[in-house]
């Protein structure tokens, strides 16, 4: 049973936000596992594929902060969100006419610039709807994970029977779904930032710096996974259906964590959750890099995605909700996305591309484990006992 006190679960806001998360992460479910295979079909090298995929992260360095600032200052969150959805779809249409590096680069850059606006804006809006009950965030966010699973399984099965180029039409359909959902979501009045403390003053706190820096290294550690995992599996003889099953298993674990997060937050400190997620990441990437021929090991590694992404992300969002006023959260979530998924993801993608060509999968995923270890050390030192978060 869901708590009676959470008004979001008693109104249409729940299914509207959940539908958006479903479509948004369904797009990722079609894009992340298979778009690298599409790029490989265009005869791009590993370094070129890593560069193109890093555009999704690179645009998160600047674009979310721009959109978050614009939404907070104007109070027109939904107008910004709807414009970004339409423009990202227009940018993606360029891929239907591109087959060489620079045209593909231009189309992906245009899509990524506008697409990267969406998630931090909706995350902040979701927290406002939750009205201080951020521990229930996972109950809404899990529908994104369900959308991812539906897309990754369906797309994998389709691509075992259809040309890889048909992937473009699948992704376009997901983008249309996102556009439609932005017109279903209802806004809440924007709340002003608290006058009791400045945003800059809060960002300078050691625990905030540690959270952002550790997020950078966690996303960097995931870079080779997101770019090369499907290529890695194809190289070990797995078909696209098996690849879809493995990606889906990771997201099933993620859903389980999101559902359990209210209970986990009552029993564990945010610091303990984050440390556990980094330990899991170290083990996971070593297993993927060196033991991919053993299917059971891959199953275990994918189950650990619940910790390395799900628990880490949900704990980070909970910390931001506690540390910052509602009127500041869109900007802080945008900053978190820029530092972690943007800068960290870009670094991980590019290093992965260079290492993959030079040293192969084992060394590449070992570097990912080292990056996760750095993030663990940052949380260990920066979020000490007495930190104002549970």
Q: Which residues does 77 contact at the CB level (< 8 Å), separation at least 6?
A: 71, 121, 124, 125, 187, 190, 330
**What values do phi and psi take at 307, rounded to 5?**
-90, -45
| 279-to-268, 283, 373, 387 alpha-carbon distances in Å | 16, 7, 7, 21
Separation CA 259–CA 207 (nearest Å) = 26
pLDDT tens for 349-367 read: 999 999 998 999 999 999 9
pLDDT of residue 7: 45
Q: What does the DSSP 8-state code read for residue 7?
A: G
Q: What pLDDT is attached to residue 110?
A: 94
Residue 49, both tokens: 């594929």
Q: Is the pLDDT of residue 67 over 50?
A: yes
Burial (Cβ within 10 Å: 0-12, 13-18, ≥19) of residue 151: buried
Query: Is residue 134 predicted with pLDDT exceeding 60?
Result: no
Sign of CA dihedral 254, 262, 273, 21: positive
Widest pairwise Cα distance in the chain: 60
Look at residue 94 and tell me whether its pLDDT is greater than 90: yes
The upper half-sphere exposure of residue 130, i.e. CA atoms within 13 Å in the direction of its Cβ, equals: 24
Question: Which has more pLDDT, 104 or 10?
Answer: 104
Mean pLDDT of 124-153: 79
Distance CA 125, CA 186 (A): 9
Helix 270-290 with 312-323: angle, nearest 10 deg: 150
Question: Cα–Cα distance between 83 and 203 in angstroms, integer?
Answer: 29
Would you state the pLDDT for residue 141?
78
CA torsion, ordered 256, 306, 152, 150, to nearest 10 deg = 10
Confidence class for position 207, pLDDT limits 50, 70, 90: very high
3-7, 25-29, 301-305: which has the minimum mean pLDDT?
3-7
Residue 63: HSE in the Cβ half-sphere, 13 Å Cα cutoff: 25
Query: What local confidence, expressed as pLDDT, does residue 186 receive?
Result: 75
Indicate the CATH number for domain 12-188+197-382.
1.20.1250.20
Higher pLDDT, 14 or 18: 18
| Better pLDDT: 25 or 330 | 25
More confidently predicted of 377 and 357: 377
CA of residue 259 relative to chain centroid, distance: 17
**pLDDT grade, residue 321 (50/70/90)?**
confident
The 10 Å Cβ neighbour count of residue 358 is: 11
The answer to whether residue 342 scores a pLDDT higher than 90 is no
Asked if residue 2 has pLDDT above 50, the reply is: no
List, as one string, the DSSP characters of 172-223: HHHHHHHHHHHTTPPP-PPPPPPSSS-HHHHHTSHHHHHHHHHHHHHHHHHH
Query: In this model, does residue 93 exceed pLDDT 80?
Result: yes
pLDDT of residue 190 exceeding 60, the answer is no
Report pLDDT for 15.
Answer: 81
Beta-carbon contacts of residue 69 (< 8 Å; ≥ 6 apart):
331, 334
Q: How many residues in total does the chain contain?
A: 390
**Mean pLDDT score of the chain:** 86
Q: What pLDDT is recorded for position 193?
A: 47
The pLDDT confidence band at residue 9, using thresholds 50, 70 and 90, is very low
pLDDT in tens, 249-300: 998 998 889 888 888 988 999 999 999 999 999 999 999 999 999 999 999 9
Domain ranges of the chain: 12-188+197-382
DSSP string, 299-366: HHHHHTHIIIIIIHHHHHHHHHHHHS-GGGHHHHHHHHHIIIIIIIHHHHHHHHHHHHHHH-HHHHHH
Which one has a higher pLDDT value, 230 or 75? Answer: 230
What per-residue confidence (pLDDT) applies to 390? 45
pLDDT over 70 at 191, yes or no = no
Q: What is the pLDDT of residues 227-246, one digit of tens each?
A: 999 999 999 999 999 999 99
């Amino acid at each position: 049973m869901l708590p009676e006190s959470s008004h979001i679960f008693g109104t249409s806001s729940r299914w509207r936000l959940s539908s958006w998360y479903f479509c948004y992460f369904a797009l990722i479910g079609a894009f992340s596992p298979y778009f690298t295979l599409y790029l490989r079909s265009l005869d791009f090298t590993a370094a070129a594929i890593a560069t193109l995929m890093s555009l999704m992260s690179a645009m998160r360095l600047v674009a979310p902060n721009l959109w978050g600032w614009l939404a907070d200052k104007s109070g027109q969150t939904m107008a910004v969100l709807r414009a970004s959805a339409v423009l990202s779809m227009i940018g993606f249409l360029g891929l239907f006419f591109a087959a060489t590096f620079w045209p593909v680069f231009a189309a992906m850059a245009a899509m990524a610039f506008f697409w990267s606006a969406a998630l931090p804006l909706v995350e902040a809006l979701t927290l406002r709807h939750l009205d201080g009950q951020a521990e229930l965030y996972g109950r809404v966010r899990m529908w994104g994970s369900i959308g991812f699973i539906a897309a990754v399984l369906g797309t994998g099965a389709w691509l075992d029977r259809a040309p890889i180029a048909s992937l473009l039409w699948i992704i376009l359909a997901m983008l249309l779904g996102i556009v439609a959902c932005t017109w279903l979501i209802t806004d809440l009045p924007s709340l002003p930032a608290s006058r009791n403390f400045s945003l800059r003053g809060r960002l300078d706190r050691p625990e905030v710096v540690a959270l952002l820096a550790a997020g950078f290294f966690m996303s960097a550690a995931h870079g080779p996974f997101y770019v090369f995992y499907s290529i890695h599996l194809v190289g070990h003889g797995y078909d696209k259906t098996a690849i879809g099953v493995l990606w889906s298993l990771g997201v099933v674990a993620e859903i389980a964590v999101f559902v359990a997060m209210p209970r986990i937050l009552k029993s564990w400190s945010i610091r303990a959750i984050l440390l556990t997620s980094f330990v899991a990441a170290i083990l996971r990437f070593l297993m993927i890099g060196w033991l991919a021929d053993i299917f059971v090991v891959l199953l275990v590694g994918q189950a650990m995605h619940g910790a390395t992404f799900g628990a880490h992300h949900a704990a980070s969002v909970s910390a931001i909700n506690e540390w910052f006023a509602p009127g500041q959260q869109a900007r802080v979530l945008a900053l978190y996305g820029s530092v972690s998924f943007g800068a960290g993801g870009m670094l991980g993608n590019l290093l992965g591309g260079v290492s993959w060509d030079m040293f192969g999968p084992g060394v590449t995923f070992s570097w990912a484990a080292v990056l996760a270890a750095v993030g663990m050390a940052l949380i260990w030192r920066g979020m000490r006992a007495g930190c104002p978060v549970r």
